[in-house]
Structure 1
Amino acid sequence: MDVRTILVTGGAGFIGANLVRLLVLEKGLRVINVDKLTYAGNLRSLDELAGHPDHLFVRADIGDAAAMARVLAEHRPDAIMHLAAESHVDRSIDGPAAFIETNIVGTFRLLAATLDYYRKLPASRAERFRFLHVSTDEVYGSLAAGAEAFTEASPYDPHSPYSASKAASDHLVRAWCHTYGLPVLITNSSNNYGPYQFPEKLVPVVLIRALEGREIPVYGSGEHVRDWLHVRDHAEALWTVLGRGRAGETYNIGGHNELRNLDLVRLLCSIFDELRPSPDGKPHADRIRHVADRPGHDLRYAIDLRKMRDELGWEPAEDAATGFRKTVEWYLGNEDWWRGILSGGYRLERLGAGGAVPSS
């Protein structure tokens, strides 16, 4: 795909920041990074791009139609990769309104601005333009143990306010393709892990608590199964879909790496036993504590990634033996990053990022 400038929404978040670094530093692209900088947006995750001429950060809300129209008109991207979203299930249970506003209303307003921009493009540029919408496997609901993995044809059956809001946004994107002809791509990925993940998700919670010698919580019995995808693999997959995917199609992205939550926590603890033994000499797993389960907790997610493999030639590079070790090593080597979040210091940096400014 012949692209030079890509607009990434949510580019200061976990997956977004990893994607932006890949696009700028390895693919040689110019990225317009649009992020509202909610609690999960962290400019420290983009320190590698400080002063880089091909990274422009714009603090804006995708739900602000006028702001998005200005960004599109000024920077004229060849493609949009839409990652901006509220994404934490527990937060969606406690406060669903933000998920409706960002994931549904925000996506609608971004689609409206994008369609207006797309219709004004010269024919040669319009033919190349793509809108890639990044979603989750949680829209498909819960799988029973032993059931076939989710495919792109699996029916939607969301069970949380988060997954319901993402399902709605997926339907909106498809509607803009079939009704208005906007050339879209949709991806649904499994659980991500890796560097720069906000410490409210399972993997960073375990890692940080192990480092601090605190109790490690596991929901319920820990029998819930997830397919774990390293964020670097996800970023590469998104670039592959943008470049090779067929407009109007959906692609499921998985790690081919199913683990029970309890087994994952024990694996992380065993890596810590090797790389950072507990001062008292006891296994880190001794601090695992089972806590009350979350409401409506889906039992199992699993992705069938044959379409990604057979049609686009993509497969994950990391597995349980490599990806989790690299993640533990990253958290051990980047303590200042996650401690800045725990202390709230990253919020002060966020307050200074107003308007369109270079990454520095």
Structure 2
Amino acid sequence: MAEILVTGGAGFIGGNFVHYWNRHHPEDRVCVLDALTYAGNRSTLKGASNYELVEGDIRDTALVERLLRERGISTIVHFAAESHVDRSISGPDAFIDTNILGTNSLLKAAREVWLDEGSGREHRFHHISTDEVFGSLGPNDPAFSETTPYAPNSPYSASKAASDHLVRAYHHTFGLEVTASNCSNNYGPYQYPEKLIPLFLLNALSGNALPIYGDGMNVRDWLHVEDHCRGIEACLEQGVPGETYNIGGGAELPNMAVIDAICAEVDYAFERIDRLADRFPDAPAARGEKTGSLKTFIADRAGHDRRYAIDETKARRDLGYSPRHQFGAGLRQTLDWYLDNEAWWRPIIARQMEA
């Protein structure tokens, strides 16, 4: 039995990881440390077992040290981060505080308990990062690899790049056993509805506009969150300390293709699911109209990266990782999850409207 600390485990990817770890490692105990900010949600962990939720800030180094000592934790999986690019443009300070200072706090605590106190305990600090640290690709540029130079273009990606460098430094300077992974755009259950897929799904159900930045042709690689969890598991079990691994979904698509797929899936859902029109009467599909009628082009985001793409050769070769979810099937599964879990997202929408 292992004791694992999952930071940000009440958020989207962290929460999915807790559920995944429960299913595949039921003997392990998971300690979730989450500040429960706007994107953290206790109900995301509903149905999980053998876990404890500690409400606290990763910048509280003394708290993290106490958790590591008292619970005999040997693994940290670090998800906690501010991650929404738009928010980083309007308010970068929170990104500096959480993503840089918070990561440094965790590293200090891990160093103190695992190294300086001489426990001799085998340990692992796994850091979750993003493909955005590599900047933007041209249409014919090769995909990002682990050796691509960093060139972050937003306050969010710059703060994640800084945290990546800190993790690397703690390994090379102090000998902390670390691994890191850079993922592409995640989608799936429990995603806070400010990101593209859940935002557009729920807007479509409510008959609200689908706001498209610029010409809608920015390209992203889409990764189902369960595949991401599998990739992290492979990093923990087979990754070499000091190494970084790219985790991708193998679905490089322009935003317009994703938006058109969302519209088509919503239209089809109203054909295949009984009484959906009664539940969501404001949706165009409830009246037999096309969801695509809600598409609205708006001014592009400042500094909007044009293209991201992931080369996951190293993870395939060294970890045996490959994505299992095809984007079309994963998108339908995601839509069905939101349709089946109104009780999860309705309170979030209500809080957004009150803010």
Give the TM bin, normalised by the shorter chain: over 0.9
Deviation for aligned residue 1:122: 3.9
- Residue 316 of structure 1 aligns with which residue? 323
- Residue 88 of structure 1 aligns with which residue? 84
2:228 is equivalent to residue 228 of structure 1: no
Counterpart CA distance in 2 for 1:305 and 1:55 is: 31
Q: TM-score, normalised by structure 2?
A: 0.93
Structure 1 residues 130-181: Cα deviation after superposition (integer angstroms, max 9, x where no partner): 1000000000000011210000000000000000000000000000000000
- Residue 237 of structure 1 aligns with which residue? 231
Aligned counterpart for 1:64 among listed residues 60, 65, 70? 60
Aligned counterpart for 1:198 among listed residues 169, 192, 197? 192
Deviation for aligned residue 1:321: 2.2
Deviation for aligned residue 1:336: 1.6
AA paired with 1:223? M
Structure 1 residues 23-73: Cα deviation after superposition (integer angstroms, max 9, x where no partner): 123321210100011110001111112xx3x20111110101111111111
2:103 partner SS: helix
Deviation for aligned residue 1:192: 0.3
- Residue 70 of structure 2 aligns with which residue? 74
Counterpart CA distance in 2 for 1:45 and 1:342 is: 15
Counterparts in 2 of 1:145-164, with a 5 A limit?
A: 145-164=139-158
2:294 is equivalent to residue 295 of structure 1: no
RMSD over equivalenced CA pairs, Å = 1.3
- Residue 164 of structure 2 aligns with which residue? 170
Counterpart CA distance in 2 for 1:6 and 1:61 is: 17
Aligned counterpart for 2:24 among listed residues 12, 26, 41? 26
8 A contact 2:88–2:154 mirrored in 1: yes
2:246 is equivalent to residue 248 of structure 1: no
- Residue 278 of structure 2 aligns with which residue? none
2:285 is equivalent to residue 281 of structure 1: no
- Residue 11 of structure 1 aligns with which residue? 9
Deviation for aligned residue 1:121: 5.3
Deviation for aligned residue 1:344: 2.3
Unaligned runs of 5+ in 1: 348-360
2:34 is equivalent to residue 38 of structure 1: no
> What percentage of aligned pairs have identical amino acids?
50
AA paired with 1:10? G
Note closer, same or farther for the CA distance 1:121–1:276 as it changes in structure 2 (3 Å cut).
farther
| Aligned positions, number | 338
Counterpart CA distance in 2 for 1:15 and 1:21 is: 10
8 A contact 2:68–2:74 mirrored in 1: no
Deviation for aligned residue 1:78: 1.7
1:344 partner SS: helix
Q: TM-score, normalised by structure 1?
A: 0.92
Larger relative contact order, structure 1 or 2 (CA cutoff 8 Å, min sep 6): 1
**Deviant stretches of 4+, over 2 Å:** 120-123
